[in-house]
């Protein structure tokens, strides 16, 4: 069969009128009542069965069936509630399975608008399905309810389909008015036609008949003056009217929450409890496009609302939010309207999961936004003016219970300088980067590791004003950080885990969540905020924040500044808050005749403010209580010269914390059989585990490599990680310095996808060279370890009598298997060593939670 071959519709007069329906045609029929469509569709199906065509009915709506089950008709029953992407993929699989020349009848498209809440997604479904049907020489009929959708959506459908017909059933008469008939024409084709008593469509060619017809149409269309308004906007207008009239229903509030906020049942339950209808209306007023606002935005709003509801005494110390939200529907429309849907569907296939990701990522970076969305972008940017903003991922699955996606997707700062068109261009590029980050390997690996590679992952975007203070050409928060309601790291038995922990930095909060450079955040346990593990000014200076992230308003970008250079340029009232003097260094300089201050960032002036620290503790406590789960928050704190301060809550999500494993006594072992033994510095949810393989990176050999070659070792570890995937083996990585650092001089620059298949991670110190682990409890990398159940330990110089043991000669010259498992990496065998163990020579790890000691070694007797 060939494209454009004529087929019979079951109504000869309609065939004549339209010069036949052709193979490849999608036929969209607008109706006021589905009964009129049923009459036409049943004739079409009977004719197709008679002509021995393959006929399928795609059933997904709540309305009564359009076709009865009969011999020769396949009925596919689908669930549109599974979400746009899952539903569309399922439909496409059916179309692929049925192949060329198949005939279809679909349930009413308008039902998809009801299920997915917006006209936009209904239009997206048709715009990706119609071309696929056309390429396979099929014939498909779709009904759509007239007057239920905005002009823009019907215009998209009209542009995409081959036939668009208006079918009216008025006063027991059927009228057919072709609006679009692609690739054919006759002198009377586009006139209204009335069905006669003989089931013949006759064109209306005289004014008497036409005047009757148009009078009937005017009566039917009465009240359709709002068709330019999206159905979702109409729904919200009606909801507002109902609320202020005192009649809003539970059903309406549930629909608002599900369609705009979240599908997560636990989050939805909390939102329902905490939010008023006015809160929902305020979100809608700041929503660009339609769809949900995503997990990150939900968490931020929920945390702020809980603080408002249960801690009213802090109302004047919490910064009001003025965020905007780009709905998930905009993300899907961006993909559909730029012709990327088929590439996205192909990427979901396990075979192409990583292979097509980079191609799709590049395409997302280079695509364009429709003018209707750009208009809304402009209005938002007019509101913010030249205040810096941050464009943050807020995906469908992000920041939920059990799925934090911490650090997986992009957040992009926009300095927001320049003229309006430059600001728009920079903002659109930032949105593209966030969209493209859905295809980053680390995010894909995270999803696959958690069995979520086929789940709908729709990307919404949270646009926040950067809460900060302008110091000359520098714009930044006075301090920022992350707060944990449960302290997963305590450096003293006197500290309470339930009091919470802050990771505090000066400037933008990026250095509080990422393991970067030589910077160390201030760790603040909130029951004793001034407590620290550091002794003496030298140590405090060494383990401090050496660089600040900030917005350079002159250069119009986010940048990093050296703390020592910047502190001398900042006002004294501010430096008194964030820094301390290194008096030992100042004395040493004076002895050499040099008189200058030496300051380092410690945030000591912040942690000394008891009321502020108590406020942070109470906020975290309340959030944990009402989340019924420990939480992880992001925040800024800005000060004024007179000492006044204000806190901005930027994010909140459930915190995945390791639960202490059941205590297990460690078997006896002699020192010569110990690989390592560490006190206190370990975490995990296991008390004992066999270790099947160990990957050891030799610190001295790694250090000796040229700087520009060190980055290759992250890829090599990634190769080993991939080799052991699905092997069932428990593999341990032992690496010098910091895992996940951005500086190869400080450790291994791996991402989570490079180490996702390891069961145990161990960072070790080599003070002679300068490799020191950073106990980055709460960093994005550390969250990955917690969520995936990895065991973590750090081998550092102890400050007590219990010195750690680390026997790097443990294998006594045993041969590394790196060259055997990955022969092309043989040249790296002196730096990366891989040892495998079996039952005859087993290696085990035991965590003694009672005595806070972890031991790894050969516990079995030598046979």
Please report, for the chain, the start and end positions of each structural domain, with discontinuous segments joined by +: 6-220, 254-465, 476-654, 671-857
For residues 493 and 760, give the distance between their C-alpha atoms in angstroms, rounded to a whole number. 25
Q: Give the pLDDT of residue 517.
A: 56
Rg (CA), the chain: 32
Q: Tell me the average pLDDT across 598-604.
A: 89
Q: Tell me the average pLDDT across 290-298.
A: 92
Q: Tell me the average pLDDT across 421-445.
A: 92
pLDDT in tens, 676-695: 998 877 776 666 788 999 99
Q: Does domain 6-220 have CATH number 3.40.50.300?
A: yes
Q: Give the pLDDT of residue 533.
A: 64
Residue 778: pLDDT band with limits 50, 70, 90: very low
Q: Which CATH architecture has domain 254-465?
A: 2-Layer Sandwich (3.30)
pLDDT in tens, 223-254: 555 555 677 888 899 999 999 999 999 999 99
Answer yes or no: is pLDDT of 777 > 50.
no
pLDDT in tens, 320-353: 989 999 999 999 999 999 999 999 988 888 888 8
pLDDT in tens, 144-169: 998 888 888 999 999 999 999 999 88
pLDDT in tens, 781-838: 555 565 466 788 888 865 545 678 899 889 887 889 999 999 999 889 889 999 998 8
Residue 455: pLDDT band with limits 50, 70, 90: low
Torsion of CA 523, 527, 529, 535, to 10 degrees: -70
Answer yes or no: is pLDDT of 675 > 70.
yes
pLDDT in tens, 359-389: 999 999 999 999 989 999 999 999 998 999 9
Answer yes or no: is pLDDT of 754 > 70.
yes
pLDDT in tens, 703-727: 888 888 888 999 999 999 999 988 8
Three-state secondary structure along 228-271?
CCCHHHHHHHHHHHHHHCCCCCHHHHHHHHHHHHCCCHHHHHHH
From the list 492, 502, 504, 493, the residue with the least C-alpha distance to 525 is 502
Answer yes or no: is pLDDT of 17 > 50.
yes
Q: Give the pLDDT of residue 161.
A: 96
For residues 28 and 489, give the distance between their C-alpha atoms in angstroms, rounded to a whole number. 62
Three-state secondary structure along 640-677?
CCCCCEEEEEEEEEECCCCCCCCCCCCCCCCHHHEEEE
From the list 652, 506, 486, 671, the residue with the least C-alpha distance to 577 is 506
Answer yes or no: is pLDDT of 3 > 60.
no
Residue 491: pLDDT band with limits 50, 70, 90: low
Q: Tell me the average pLDDT across 425-431.
A: 97
pLDDT in tens, 76-87: 999 999 889 889
pLDDT in tens, 280-293: 999 999 999 999 99
For residues 780 and 179, give the distance between their C-alpha atoms in angstroms, rounded to a whole number. 55
Q: Which CATH architecture has domain 476-654?
A: 2-Layer Sandwich (3.30)
């Amino acid at each position: 069969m060939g494209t454009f071959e004529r087929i019979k519709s079951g109504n000869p007069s309609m065939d004549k009128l339209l010069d036949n329906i052709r193979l490849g045609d999608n036929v969209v029929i607008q109706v006021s009542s589905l009964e009129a469509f049923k009459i036409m569709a049943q004739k079409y199906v009977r004719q197709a069965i008679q002509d021995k065509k393959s006929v399928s009915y795609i059933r997904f709506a709540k309305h009564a069936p359009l076709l009865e089950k009969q011999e020769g008709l396949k009925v596919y029953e689908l669930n549109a509630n599974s979400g746009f992407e899952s539903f569309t993929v399922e439909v496409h699989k059916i179309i692929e399975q049925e192949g060329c020349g198949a005939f279809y009848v679909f349930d009413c498209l308008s039902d998809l608008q009801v299920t997915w809440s917006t006209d936009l997604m209904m239009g997206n479904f048709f715009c990706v399905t119609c071309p696929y049907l056309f390429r396979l020489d099929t014939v498909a009929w779709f009904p759509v309810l007239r007057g239920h959708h905005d002009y823009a959506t019907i215009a998209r459908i009209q542009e995409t389909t081959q036939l668009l017909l208006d079918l009216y059933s008025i006063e027991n008469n059927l009228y057919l008015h072709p609006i679009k008939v692609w690739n054919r024409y006759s002198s009377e084709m586009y006139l209204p036609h009335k069905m006669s008593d003989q089931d013949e469509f006759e064109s209306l060619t005289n004014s008497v008949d036409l005047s009757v017809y148009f009078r009937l149409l005017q009566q039917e269309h009465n009240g359709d003056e709002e068709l330019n308004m999206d159905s979702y906007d109409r729904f919200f207008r009606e909801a507002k009217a109902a609320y202020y009239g005192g009649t809003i229903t539970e059903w309406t509030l549930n629909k608002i929450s599900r369609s705009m906020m979240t599908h997560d049942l636990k989050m939805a339950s909390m939102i329902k409890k905490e939010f008023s209808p006015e809160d929902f209306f305020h979100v809608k007023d700041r929503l660009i496009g339609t769809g949900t606002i995503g997990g990150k935005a939900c968490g931020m709003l929920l945390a702020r609302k809980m603080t408002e509801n249960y801690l009213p005494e802090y109302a004047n110390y919490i910064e009001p939010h003025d965020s905007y939200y780009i709905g998930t529907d905009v993300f899907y429309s961006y993909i559909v309207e730029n012709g990327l849907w088929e590439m996205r569907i192909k990427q979901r296939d396990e075979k192409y999961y990583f292979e097509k990701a980079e191609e799709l990522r590049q395409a997302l970076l280079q695509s364009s936004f429709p003018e209707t969305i750009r208009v809304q972008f402009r209005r938002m940017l007019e509101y913010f003016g030249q205040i810096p903003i941050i464009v943050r991922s807020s995906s469908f699955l992000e920041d939920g219970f059990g799925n934090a996606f911490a650090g997986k997707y992009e957040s992009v700062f926009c300095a927001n300088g320049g003229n309006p068109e430059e600001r728009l261009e920079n903002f659109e590029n930032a949105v593209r980067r966030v969209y493209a980050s859905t295809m980053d390997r680390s995010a894909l690996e995270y999803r696959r590791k958690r069995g979520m590679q086929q789940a709908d992952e729709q990307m919404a975007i949270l646009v926040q004003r950067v809460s900060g203070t302008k110091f000359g050409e520098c714009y930044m928060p006075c301090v920022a950080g992350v707060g944990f309601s449960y302290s997963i790291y305590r450096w003293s038995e006197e500290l309470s885990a339930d009091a919470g922990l802050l990771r505090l930095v000066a400037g933008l909060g990026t250095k509080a969540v990422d393991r970067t450079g030589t910077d160390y955040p201030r760790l603040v346990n909130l029951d004793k905020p001034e407590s620290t593990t550091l002794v003496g000014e030298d140590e405090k200076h060494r383990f401090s924040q050496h660089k600040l992230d900030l917005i350079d308003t002159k250069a119009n970008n986010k940048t990093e500044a050296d703390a020592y250079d910047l502190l001398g340029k900042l006002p004294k009232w501010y430096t008194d808050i964030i820094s301390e003097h290194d008096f030992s260094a100042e004395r040493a300089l004076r002895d050499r005749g040099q008189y200058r201050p030496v300051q380092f960032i410690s945030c000591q002036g912040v942690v000394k403010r008891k009321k502020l620290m108590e406020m942070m503790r109470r906020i975290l406590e309340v959030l944990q209580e009402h989340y019924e789960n420990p939480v992880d928050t992001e925040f800024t704190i800005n000060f004024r010269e007179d000492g006044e301060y204000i806190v901005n809550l930027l994010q909140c999500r459930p915190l995945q914390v390791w639960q202490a494993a059941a205590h297990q006594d460690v078997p006896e072992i002699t020192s010569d059989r110990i690989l390592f033994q560490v006190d206190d510095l370990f975490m995990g949810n296991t008390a004992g585990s066999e270790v099947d393989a160990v990957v050891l990176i030799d610190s001295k050999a790694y250090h000796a490599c040229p700087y520009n070659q060190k980055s290759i070792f992250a890829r090599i570890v990634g190769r080993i990680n991939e080799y052991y995937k699905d092997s069932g083996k428990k593999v341990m990585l032992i690496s010098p310095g910091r895992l996940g650092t951005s500086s190869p001089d400080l450790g291994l620059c791996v991402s989570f996808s490079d180490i996702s298949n390891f069961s145990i991670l161990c960072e070790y110190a080599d003070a002679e060279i300068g490799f020191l682990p950073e106990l980055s409890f709460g960093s994005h990398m550390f969250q990955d370890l917690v969520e995936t159940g990895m065991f973590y330990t750090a081998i550092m110089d102890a400050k007590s009598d219990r010195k750690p043991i680390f026997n790097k000669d443990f294998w006594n010259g045993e041969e590394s298997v790196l060259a055997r498992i990955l022969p092309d990496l043989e040249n790296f065998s002196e730096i990366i060593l891989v040892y495998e163990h079996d039952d005859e020579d087993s290696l085990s790890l035991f965590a003694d939670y009672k005595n806070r000691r972890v031991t790894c070694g050969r516990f079995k007797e030598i046979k």
